[in-house]
Structure 1
Amino acid sequence: MSLRSRPTTASRAAVALTGLALAASLVGAPGAAATAVDRQRDGSEPLPGYTISNPPLEPLVVEGEPTRVRQGVREHAAYTIEVPQDWNGELVLWAHGYRGTGTVLTVDPPGFGLRQRLLEQGYAWAASSYARNGYDVRTGVLTTRDLAGYAARLLRRSEGERPERTYVTGVSMGGHVIGRSLEQYPRFYDGALPMCGVLGDHELFDYFLSYNLLAQDLADVDAYPVPADYQSEVVPQIKSELGLGGPIGAPITNPRGAQLRDLTTELSGGQRPGADVAFTVWKDFLFTLATPDDGGPLALNGGRLAQNLDTAYTPRTPVDVDATVERVAPSDPRLRRTRSLTAIPRIEGRPKVPVLTLHDLGDLFVPFSMEQVYAREAARRGQEDLLVQRAVRAAGHCEFTDAEVARAWDDLTTWVESRGLQARPAGDDVLTPAVLAEPTYGCEFTDPAGYAQPQRYPTRALYPRCPER
């Protein structure tokens, strides 16, 4: 890591405390006389209808010294910033995943042991709650960028300089936030580590739509648009017709149920290790992602963008579903086409800076195909040299060990710091079908220690152990 000389601990702490106090007086919460309207206007309170839960974060002790933690509200979003005493001059932003549709905004510290690792390596980190919940990538992009700028000013006041480099990492919907952020603010971030990320943007919602339309077609049930009783009445009928009632790991013996499994495998990335058993992990959950459009905002109705007009479905036996499945156009084609920063925006594969990704092979919530979409887009725009992708042999969503994430993080930062003088780190080929179908695919970057902790990594046991290296 690029550690540089710093003042003594005592003088550094005094400067930091003075800087934090100055920052609070200049850009912190308004005075007691400020009205509720004032606080809404300046962004120091959440948006109407939302509340914030951001309890004090206990500092960590790094090399015998406590870190410095600052928490507050900006642009209607809660934030946390943490700085080690021996700051290395670099900043990491954490982009959290989907929070559901509740009205409480919360902040996560970096997961997978990253918080501790970042601080021990000298990095400062910052994380935002975003200003809204729901699938609202726009607010994630904007509030994360605002927080990056604020943290840079705060660090400059307390440490005497702006961050030398700024990274962004995160999970799931946070991957969508990262992918769009790299294009919304070209080269503002110096490197990115999206994990289990929605890098295929709208195609995630196409996949959810296809799963439910295919299941309906195979069960000979007409349930589109999705009715209000879809979960309570229609889905049990579909599952009965297709023989999908078995537990995780149970083979699918109904021919049409097996066809839905194989169709899902193809839609989610193609034949790859663990695909059959991964389907049994996710088959029930995928039905819950079909809900009626309530006429509200796009962030709560992502299916508005979904379509399957150009989707080719295989296999086509015992039912030729490519000919029989209902075809659906996006109900809001303008939002599907726009390049504007919407709640569910496009990502075009223009990262401009090094990106290293992690993805579970059997994740069918945010499927492995998201990596393939992004790889194709990056290649189409001549950006493939800036992208490294790694597969992990698990069927959970974001089921990574601390060691897998640590290795990815260290490889990314070494790559970025080399400024092109060092070769790209190793990754997996995510596009060649024959490579993905190899029994050992994903072994290179899968931590074998995950097998020893089934409570933390419950789907690792669904995959055969890799050969010892």
Structure 2
Amino acid sequence: MRKARWLSLSLGLCTVLLLSPAWSRPPADSATRTETGTLQGAPWRIDVPAHWNGELVMYAHGFEPVGTPRPDPWPGNAWTEALTQAGYAVAQSGYSSQGWAVMDAIADLERLRAQFVAQHPDTRHSWIIGFSMGGAVALGTLEQLPQHYSGGVSMCGANLPGDVLAAEMLTSLVAFEYFFPNARGLPDGGLLSPAAATMPQGETYEAIAAAIESHPAAAAQLSRRLELEPDELAGTISLHTLVFQQLVKRSGGLPVSNRETVYSGFGDDKAFNAGVRRVAADPAAAAKLTRELALTGAIRRPVVVQYNLDDPSVTPRFEPIYPALAREAGAASQLTQLPPVGSGHCQFTPQQVLAAVAMQSAAARAKPAASTGEARHP
């Protein structure tokens, strides 16, 4: 049971790759044309239905742990069939690197989009939709490359700038160490240490789960603060360890500090702030993280955002962050946040995904492309 819980959370935030054989097949419409290949180290797949409506959906998948075996050819995702049956072409790519590969993902998807449009110059509109980490990829794409898109959708997205993401991961890890000091099976340096980066995630999970089971009162307090159910805590902490260590590796050092952070919500906050582990950021690593994982809210194309209920990976405290950035950037009118649906991480029906994309598509069709400043062939 414990292992199943870890797997469900890990594949939750992580992938939304959904590599089940059922989704590796071409869509049910036998007239859909499927092409696959590799572009600068990134495997890709394109599905174009016979009744193509002239609109392209670029799909950004979520976090893929380093070392995850990749299928060949690259499979369709769980929503490809619904989108192609509705008339959309769907282009999707694995990324040229695994892990928290937001920057690589933006570049890989742009190369694939450009290839598609070169082959299909009659493309009328292009959209980008992302799930989990892919939600941040979609938003980053629209902030950096708005000229190529009519709009986008972020579903269950980790819609956080890099410094905010790193701070959230750090909070989880130092809070775990505070409530469960010297947990057996974990490195002496704790979850922030280089040794933790080399541990298999299953072993990290088992050690965290054992510590949590030994102190249920502390587990309940930490669960409340992190907005989780107690049985979700071990999976989320182990996953946060994995993501945090990825951010450290990609940044070239510790990218975030909590020296000045005043924590709240941990029960006896005075004792927590006095006893929690404090770390200082490496300035170069912090600058690199902020630069490469920047989200500013300065969107110039319409964006639809939707979350799930009871999501252990993207909890309610994350949801207001990007809308606040959009307000600060004067772009609040570009963002529509739909009510949360489903339960869990990235638990959407094909119909819900299609409705979010169609909302953007209908808006673009209702007005000339020139009114948005979009190129006719994005």
The two structures have a TM-score, normalised by structure 2, of 0.76
Partner of 2:219: 257
Q: Does 1:218 align with 2:179?
A: yes
Specify the code of the residue in structure 2 equivalent to 1:282: E
Partner of 1:207: 168
Query: Do 1:88 and 1:123's aligned partners in 2 also have CA atoms closer than 8 Å?
Result: yes
Cα separation, partners in 2 of 1:192 and 1:302, compared to 1, 3 Å: farther
> SS in structure 1 opposite 2:52?
coil
Q: CA deviation at 1:55?
A: 12
Write the deviation string for residues 266-317 of structure 1: whole angstroms up to 9, x where unpaired: xxxxxxxxxxxx4224201123136599999956689833443454422253
> SS in structure 2 opposite 1:99?
coil
Q: Does 1:396 align with 2:344?
A: yes
Partner of 1:235: 208
Cα separation, partners in 2 of 1:115 and 1:207, compared to 1, 3 Å: same
Partner of 1:13: none
Partner of 1:370: 318
Specify the code of the residue in structure 2 equivalent to 1:325: V
Q: Distance in 2 between matches of 1:88 and 1:167?
A: 13
Q: CA deviation at 1:110?
A: 3.9
The two structures have a TM-score, normalised by structure 1, of 0.62
Partner of 1:90: 55
**Higher Rg of the two aligned structures:** 1
Q: Does 1:354 align with 2:302?
A: yes
Number of aligned residue pairs: give it: 333
Q: Distance in 1 between matches of 2:352 and 2:244?
A: 40
Q: CA deviation at 1:223?
A: 3.5
- RMSD of equivalent CA atoms: 3.4
Larger relative helix fraction: 2
Give matches, 1:258-407, under 5 Å: 258-265=220-227, 278-289=228-239, 291=241, 304-318=254-268, 320=270, 321-330=272-281, 332-338=282-288, 342=292, 345-407=293-355
Q: Distance in 2 between matches of 1:317 and 1:340?
A: 31
> SS in structure 2 opposite 1:193?
strand
> SS in structure 2 opposite 1:197?
coil
Of residues 376-385 and 284-293 in structure 1, the stretch that sits farther from structure 2 once superposed is: 284-293
Q: CA deviation at 1:259?
A: 2.2
Q: Distance in 2 between matches of 1:56 and 1:317?
A: 46
Partner of 1:165: 125
Q: Distance in 1 between matches of 2:276 and 2:178?
A: 6
Query: Do 1:97 and 1:172's aligned partners in 2 also have CA atoms closer than 8 Å?
Result: yes
Q: Distance in 1 between matches of 2:155 and 2:244?
A: 31
The gaps in structure 2 that reach 5 residues or longer are 1-20, 183-188, 370-378
Write the deviation string for residues 76-107 of structure 1: whole angstroms up to 9, x where unpaired: 21111111222222111111111211164453
Q: Distance in 2 between matches of 1:361 and 1:56?
A: 25
Q: Distance in 2 between matches of 1:128 and 1:91?
A: 14
**Sequence identity of aligned pairs in percent?**
25
Specify the code of the residue in structure 2 equivalent to 1:380: E
Choose the corresponding residue for 1:178, options 126, 138, 153. Answer: 138
Q: Does 1:100 align with 2:65?
A: yes
Q: Distance in 2 between matches of 1:364 and 1:121?
A: 31
> SS in structure 2 opposite 1:215?
helix
Cα separation, partners in 2 of 1:93 and 1:200, compared to 1, 3 Å: same
